[in-house]
Amino acid sequence: MHKGVKRMEKKTFVTKEQLEEIIKTYPTPFHLYDEKGIRENAKAMKEAFSWNKGFKEYFAVKANANPFLINLLREYGFGCDCSSYTELMLSEAIGCVGKDIMFSSNDTPAEDFQYAAQLGATINLDDITHIDFLEKAIGKIPERISCRFNPGGVFEVCNGIMDNPGDAKYGMTEEQIFDAFRILKEKGAKEFGIHAFLASNTVTNEYYPMLAKKLFELAVRLEKETCAKICFINLSGGVGIPYTPDQEPNDIRVIGEGVHRVFDEVLVPAGMGDVAIYSELGRFMMGPYGCLVTTAIHEKHTYKDYIGLDACAVNLMRPAMYGAYHHITVMGKENLPLDHKYDITGSLCENNDKFAVDRMLPEIQKGDILVIHDTGAHGFSMGYNYNGKLKSAELLLKEDGSVQLIRRAETPADYFATFDCFDFYEKLIEKANK
């Protein structure tokens, strides 16, 4: 027993009573998404950049590749930011093609470029050597093309270093992007864009305007020196969410106005006021509107106190992979003292399979329902099958309070599906289907 600590709580978008009802049909663990929250955030995003005639948000499919959720965003005119062949497949399947796709990849296979070109996607080149590679892969250089810029060094805001672009594998140097534009123009490109991603999960309203200023100034010089017509500037992702309860969330309207101010300062005087602004947000669009719902199934008291869940890193990898913080609510115990220190664990044979380490929580009993917050982005999508564990179902909490299954839970038959060309497959399936 430990003395209670100051309570810093995040509110859940679902009640204990709702979860108890849902669990009768869909056993834990599962990911649950909040339709109302997703829609409200999409509206706010659209309004924040309504000052720019050509603005478009390309949702980062890698953050959450569920077509039901992507289609919610598509209702607001959003496109898809794709990075792989299968993400392109998913986008095409839901009717997202042509200029509604931004294809940004690195170390890209030729077939991915071919498929992106076939769909009419805007291709964003990560490296100057990819110009020849793309031309060889698809037989030409598209008339509409984008290049990814990496300024190097570190990226700072007023409260310190945000990230280290110079250490990242992405993008071209300043010298390379000038050369790339000249080469692409010679090869027939007519509409140009620039793209950059300098910092991840920034919880500050300063990031996007500062990034925008760098890119806008670069765009002015690029157009002047290469005579390439810059039609769009892609601010990419990086606008983050407050994983810890003490952080203030970003205000997308303040961010939008900040970008607007810099746009008027830099681009408009240069005669580039018709440039479209794009974004590729994943975490900001979906992160807070998903949670992992799980049940405590074991407790262990050795050198530490452990609570074992029916979820594991297969369902949410970020804490194990990065030591990332995800807030945990013990449903029905929101107002009880935080007087017990626990490691909250999953069942993988890896010691890093922990959702929390030395976390102060109310006393937890077997059977308690736990909500792990902010899993709407890079939650289910990062899952894997280590230890033969199966990925969970995904559910959507509708605005009217009903629940829709948007992905069923995996079965052993799914896990063994890639053995279907071998003679032992039938035995596996026979057992799996029992």
User: Quick one: tokens of 208?
Assistant: 């996007």
Residue 205's CB is within 10 A of a number of other CB atoms, namely 20
Give residues with Cβ within 8 angstroms of 402, minimum separation 6: none
Is-contact 351 329, C-beta < 8 A? no
Known catalytic membership, residue 349 = yes
Is-contact 84 61, C-beta < 8 A? no
Q: What are phi and psi of 167, to 5 degrees?
A: -95, 0
Question: Which of 216, 209, 214, 217 shows the shortest CA–CA distance to 250?
Answer: 209
The answer to whether the Cα torsion of 137, 139, 144, 147 is positive or negative is positive
Q: Is the peptide bond before 29 cis (omega within 30 degrees of 0)?
A: yes
Q: At what angle do helices 67-74 and 35-48 cross, to 10 degrees?
A: 40
Distance between CA 392 and CA 413 in Å, rounded? Answer: 14
- 405 conformational bin, left if phi > 0, alpha if psi -120 to 50, beta if neither: beta
Read off the amino acid at residue 87. E
Question: Which of 83, 117, 68, 122 shows the shortest CA–CA distance to 99?
Answer: 122
Is-contact 145 184, C-beta < 8 A? yes
Q: What is the DSSP string of 21-56?
A: HHHTTSPSSEEEEEHHHHHHHHHHHHHHTTTSTT-E
Q: Which residues pair with 276 in a beta bridge?
A: 232
The separation between the first and the last C-alpha atoms of the chain, rounded to the nearest angstrom, is: 45
Distance between CA 416 and CA 429 in Å, rounded? Answer: 8
- Which residue among the candidates 80, 96, 312, 349 is catalytic per the annotation? 349
Q: What are phi and psi of 216, to 5 degrees?
A: -65, -45
Which residues are part of the catalytic machinery?
349
